[in-house]
Structure 1
Amino acid sequence: MLRKVSATRYIEPLRADGSVPGIVEADDLGTYVVKLSTWRR
């Protein structure tokens, strides 16, 4: 089963593009790589 954690701090992007993977710190004190999307209308 997956644990649910909340991101507490955005540390840095891994590259600068439209769909940007980045490094975040979470409330369990872990560091994660997440894929973020930019929304454009």
Structure 2
Amino acid sequence: MTTKEAIRFASAVAAMKCTQPGGRAGIPNREQTESFLSLYA
């Protein structure tokens, strides 16, 4: 994974995490993140 891809992935995880309150709630797994990226990036 390149630095650019890692930043893009981390940004997607952060965006998805912000949809639910709490420390662990809303943290997506890799499959969910890749699906999100395929739809929105």
Bigger share in helix: 2
Q: Which has the larger Rg?
A: 1
Bigger share in strand: 1
After TM superposition, the score normalised by the length of structure 2 is 0.23
After TM superposition, the score normalised by the length of structure 1 is 0.23
